[in-house]
Each structure stands twice: as C-alpha cells, then as structure tokens.
C-alpha cells in the first residue's frame, strides 16, 4: 500500500495540470501514488497512464467534488491535495509526513510560496474567523509562544490529510462541499477534536490567482453565512453575534448602489434562516497535556469571556 497518494483536481487548463504533474513526478517520495481527477478531456500525450491514474470527474464537478473522487480512489493512509497549477519542490513531503506519527493529527498545512518569487510566502495555512470569514495567513507559521487563536487548516490549493480523519467528518461532501469546502473541513476537524499541524519546510509554489476560492459571489455568500451559523458555538458569546451580522451588513454596503447588494443580503438572510445550529461544546479539556518535545501545547480556543474552553492545537516548536 502506498504511504502517500497525491490527488490533483484539474479544473483549468491542460498546461496547469501538466505543470503540477511534472513537479509531482519529479519530486515524489518513495511509495507515492498519483491520482488526477479532471473535468476536461485529457489525451495523455506523455503516456503517463502507467504512473498516474486518470479519473473523469462527474459532469459539472467543482474542486471539492474532484477532491472527494480522488480521495475515494486513494490507496494510502495519507492524502496530499495539489490543485492543478500548484507545484511541489524538492523535499516537500519529508518533514510533513512525520507529523502523522501522532495519531491525532488530521492535516498538515504546507507553506505556499509565489511561483514568480519563491522567497515570498503567500500562505502558511488559512484561518477561519467568526462570521464564516476564511482568510489565507501570509504571516509566519504559528509557534509554541504564539498560539494564533482561531480555527486553522490547509487551504484548498494544497494540504496533507489523514484519510481516516476525512472519512470521520465527511470531508468534501454534503455540507462540507462547494465554496469554502476547506473552511468547512477545518471547522469539522476542530469540532471532532482532530489536530492540525503546520510545516513551513514543505513548500508549494502557486500563483495568487490559483489560491482564489472557486464559486460565484452569491454562492460564496450563501456558504459563508451557513458556515457562520454552523461555527458560532466554536467562537462563543458576543463574537458570534458580531460575526453573524458584521459580514452581512459590510457586504451589503460595500456592494451599493449595485442591485447585487440586495441579492447578497437576501442570500445571506436565507442562509441564516436555513443553516443548522450546533449546541455549545462541553466545557472540558479535549486532550491530555502532550510533552513539549512532541511540539504540542494546550491553548485557549473559545474566544469567549463567558466560557474559557481548552483544546489542543499542533504547533511548530519555536
């Protein structure tokens, strides 16, 4: 059984797919399987079918559905998602895979650098804020002395995942599909008490445009509002209320005087009414303290003055 499966969802140009494929084939570690899920016909001019499995995506599939199809075809415990257009570099998986020695680690976020200037960091993971706001984090990766409150995870463009954890939370399917699928997955892993790690030594090159979230403006507004309600219990108290109303009103006034302002407000209100709600999490430690040598520490994650709940988050040793 391969130790690692690289899943490449290909929704764009053939050139983007081939750039990702070349980098993955050139720098792949031992016992690595490659799966390409493509939405457009691909003639395989380089006759890679013996080294790469090509899977046709269902008609109209988006990035999350392509990823789900690739994960279903994977034959390994660990899956690495590499969106077509992104490229891995030498040694990209060496230290990242070591994080999975901890059975509680569900995902590892690589450092995404600019294709044009590989000294420039575009993202060290992504961060979910109250209100369903999902932002790439271009600052330094979290360290033991800087817990970086919030819900974190790999961006859709690139990330390592434990297949069991993805199955546990129903990743990239149902409510975790569509726009902001990576944010929804990060919240689901957090809720299920899985851990996320960062590995700045794992570099993935990408253009800024490749990191843009797919989906139209209205679809993204709908999903963001659903996510805001779904994760309100993870942030608690006044932060949740502000997070629910703030983005909705801010988006409305920013879009004025365009008719899109009314459409966005209507979509968010509809999503607010129909979104599912979770009961508050129990106030109890989520994990036993881990040793300092393991690179983990206990941090406060509730963001609530009324309730200080403790959880654990994987942190890189400073």
pLDDT at 197 over 50: yes
Token pair in block for residue 260: 């899109």
- The three-point CA angle 87-179-243 to 5° equals 115
List CB contacts of 229: < 8 A, sequence separation 6 or more. 244, 271, 272, 275, 276, 277
* Cα-Cα end-to-end distance for the chain: 35
What average pLDDT score do residues 283-297 get? Answer: 32
Answer with the residue of higher pLDDT: 43 or 234.
Answer: 43
Distance CA 92, CA 229 (A): 36
Given a cut of 90, whether residue 280 has pLDDT beyond it is: no
Domain locations in the chain? 4-211
92 or 131: whose pLDDT is higher? Answer: 92
CB of 65 within 8 A of CB of 176?
A: no
pLDDT at position 307 is 34
Out of 41-45, 144-148, 227-231, which region has the weakest mean confidence (pLDDT)? 144-148
Q: Which fold has domain 4-211?
A: Spore Coat Polysaccharide Biosynthesis Protein SpsA; Chain A (3.90.550)
Residue-wise pLDDT for 207-234, tens only, equals 988 887 666 666 677 677 778 877 877 8
**Count of Cβ atoms closer than 10 Å to residue 45 Cβ:** 8
Across the chain, mean pLDDT equals 78
Say how far apart CA 58 and CA 62 lie, in whole Å: 9
Share of the chain above pLDDT 90, in %: 43
9 pLDDT band, cuts 50/70/90, is very high
Residue 55 to residue 73: CA distance in whole angstroms = 9
This prediction has a pTM of 0.78
């Amino acid at each position: 059984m391969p130790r690692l499966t690289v899943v490449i969802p290909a929704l764009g140009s053939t050139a983007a797919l081939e750039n990702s494929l070349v980098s993955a084939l050139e720098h792949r570690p031992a016992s690595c399987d490659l799966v390409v899920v493509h939405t457009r016909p691909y003639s395989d001019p380089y006759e890679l079918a013996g080294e790469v499995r090509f899977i046709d995506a269902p008609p109209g599939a988006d990035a999350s559905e392509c990823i789900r199809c690739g994960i279903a075809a994977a034959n390994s415990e660990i899956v690495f998602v590499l969106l077509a257009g992104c490229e891995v570099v030498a040694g990209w998986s060496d230290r990242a895979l070591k994080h999975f020695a901890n059975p509680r680690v569900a995902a590892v976020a690589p450092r995404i650098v600019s294709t044009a200037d590989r000294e420039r960091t575009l993202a060290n993971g992504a961060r979910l804020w109250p209100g369903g706001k999902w932002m790439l984090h271009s600052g330094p990766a979290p360290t033991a002395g800087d817990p970086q409150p919030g819900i974190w995870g790999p961006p859709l463009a690139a990330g390592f995942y434990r297949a069991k954890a993805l199955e546990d939370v129903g990743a990239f399917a149902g409510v975790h599909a569509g726009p902001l699928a990576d944010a929804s997955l990060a919240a689901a892993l957090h809720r299920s008490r899985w851990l996320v790690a960062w590995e700045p030594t794992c570099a993935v090159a990408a253009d800024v445009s490749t990191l843009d979230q797919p989906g139209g403006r209205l679809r993204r507004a709908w999903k963001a509002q659903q996510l805001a309600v779904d994760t309100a219990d993870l942030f608690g108290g006044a932060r949740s209320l502000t997070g629910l109303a703030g983005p909705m009103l801010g988006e409305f006034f920013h879009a004025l005087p365009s008719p899109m302002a009314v459409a966005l407000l209507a979509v968010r209100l509809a999503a607010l009414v129909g979104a599912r709600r979770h009961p508050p999490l129990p106030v109890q430690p989520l994990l036993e303290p881990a040793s300092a040598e393991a690179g983990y520490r206990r941090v406060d994650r509730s963001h609530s003055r009324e309730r200080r709940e403790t959880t654990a988050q994987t942190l890189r040793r400073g």
